[in-house]
Amino acid sequence: MSISKFRRRTVTRAKDAARYSSVAGGVAFARSLLGSRLSKNPVGRASHFLQAYRFTFRQFWLQRLAPRISGIQQLTDDELSTLNRRVLEWISQNGPLDRTVIVKAPGSGGERGVIVSFPEPNWLRLVLDSKAAEYIGKRYSLILTAGWSPLDYSLLEAVLRRITGTIFIQACNRSELNKIHAFSSRLVCLPTLGCDWINPDLYSPVPRSQRPIDLTMVANWAPFKRHWHLFDALRQMPPGLRVQLIGQPDAGFTVERVKQQAADYGLRQQIEFFDRLLVEDVQDHLTQAKVSIILSRHEGYCGAVTESMFADTPVGLLSDAYIGSKDYINAQTGVLLPHRNLAQALMAFIARSTEFRPREWAIKNISFRASVAKLNAILREHALRENCPWSEDIAEFCWRPYPTLLKMNQRLREAADDLTHRFPQTFGSGLCNALP
């Protein structure tokens, strides 16, 4: 092995160990607390308090930070924009709102419509135009779906600043629900995650005995997906295994970086790389795999986990992963994997792949139909409790891979046209995104 390959492997492992060490989170929290004391301006103090709030899950600190967090409400709009400068720059480089759909049109007598928006940067884009935010706030209930955990509380505060009344939040991880509740009494956390909206009808699983792929991994090419861990394990696994990696660029990281990592490990297997596939092609690949894995240690809800389950492909996650969909790993759906001896664990997982029944469990517990029913009941009960009319249920929608209507009707079309006509800089055609 060349020295350069050895050096790259060593650096990758060292960065990973430092990033996920038990000390790293504590250091970040302590640094934020210290910064809040040393900052001489309100924006700096608010920024550090918000970061400290993000970095801790301990009830002791949340109770002490929550009153100080309320001080952010005294910031001016310009000061709050300073906190969100990075996201504002991203918004300025992109077009109108995407990954956002109307699932209920406003009705007569003040009956509210419903908008589902994902992920956090789009929350800010939704309320950036004060006139658009005022119009939405009077006519719609918002369902904000997070893409990461912990979520960005400065963006959440921007929404709370512009939208009055109750805002519904779909978190990425149920361990964050108490923190969100403590942040504002106007926030209502939903019992569902973003990965609970898959449509099983869109998958046609291949019989287990006929699956040609031993192992697949659906993950973008960013470092937090930790492809290197799989490559390290593959060095101790049979050369005849068929392995597929399916991903897309993220934050400037491309498939070429991951291919270089694979080369650095000198693997004997022929790994197939698939970049920027259409969602239906990803689904097709999942239905042909014996098992799938996710090796992230920390991210959001990770929809690839439940997508795999509906493809009837059992999933493996690391035992200490902080991922929302890890809650759904059980004897029917998959396994929790160790960090050490990963190769042996993966071979045992593949050998047992026919024993699992992930699709059966997922259809019964987390399909989009059950999620629509839960959300509809919550919204209806809230409207009636507030003495607001409720004459029409929300339209059915699923994640493919973002919020997508099953069918478009005339009232939804008219509501979307109304918003795009009034606020073209904020809203685009995505509000009507529906299955073909």
**Phi, psi values for residue 277, rounded to 5°:** -75, 155
* Any domain includes 272: yes
Q: Are 254 and 227 in contact (CB under 8 A)?
A: no
Does 334 lie in the same domain as 294? yes
Decide which of 324, 340, 365 is a domain's last residue: 365
Domain check: are 334 and 255 in the same one? yes
Q: Are residue 216 and residue 336 in the same domain, yes or no?
A: yes
Q: Are residues 340 and 392 in the same domain?
A: no
pLDDT at 272: 98
Helices (H) and strands (E) in the chain, counts: 18, 13
Are 328 and 218 within one domain?
yes
Question: Are residues 129 and 184 both part of a single domain?
Answer: yes
Asked whether residue 256 is assigned to any structural domain, the reply reads: yes
DSSP-assigned letter for residue 341:
T
Within-domain flag for 8: no
**Global pTM value:** 0.93
Residue 6 lies in a domain: no
Residues 100 and 185 in one domain: yes
Say what the pLDDT of residue 300 is.
96
Provide the pLDDT for residue 378.
98
Judge if 222 and 271 occupy the same domain: yes
The strand ranges marked E within 131-207 are 140-145, 167-170, 187-189
Residue at which a domain ends, from 365, 382, 408: 365
Please name the residue ranges forming H helices in 184-318.
227-234, 255-264, 279-286, 303-310
Residue 109: domain span: 84-194+369-432
Question: Would 78 be classed as within a structural domain?
Answer: yes
Q: List average pLDDT for each run of 10 residues in the chain, which is 436 residues long.
A: 84 90 81 82 78 82 73 65 76 85 95 96 90 95 96 88 93 94 92 97 94 98 97 97 97 96 93 97 98 97 98 98 98 97 98 97 96 98 95 96 94 96 91 90
Specify the CATH number for the domain of residue 313. 3.40.50.2000
Count up the domains in the chain and report the number.
Answer: 3
| CA distance linking residue 316 with residue 215, whole number of Å | 10
126: its two tokens: 């939704």
What is the predicted pLDDT for the residue at 75?
65
Indicate if 189 and 300 belong to the same structural domain. no
Please report whether residue 3 resides in a domain. Answer: no
User: In this predicted structure, what is the pLDDT of residue 74?
Assistant: 60
pLDDT at 50: 81
One domain, residues 286 and 341: yes
The domain boundary, picked from 31, 62, 83, lies at 83
65 and 89 housed in the same domain: no
Tell me, yes or no, whether 1 lies in a domain: no
- Whether residue 119 lies inside any domain: the answer is yes
Helix (H, G, I), strand (E, B) or coil at 397: strand
Question: Distance between CA atoms of 412 and 425, rounded to whole angstroms?
Answer: 20
Q: Looking at residue 63, what is its pLDDT?
A: 77
Q: Are 159 and 88 part of one and the same domain?
A: yes
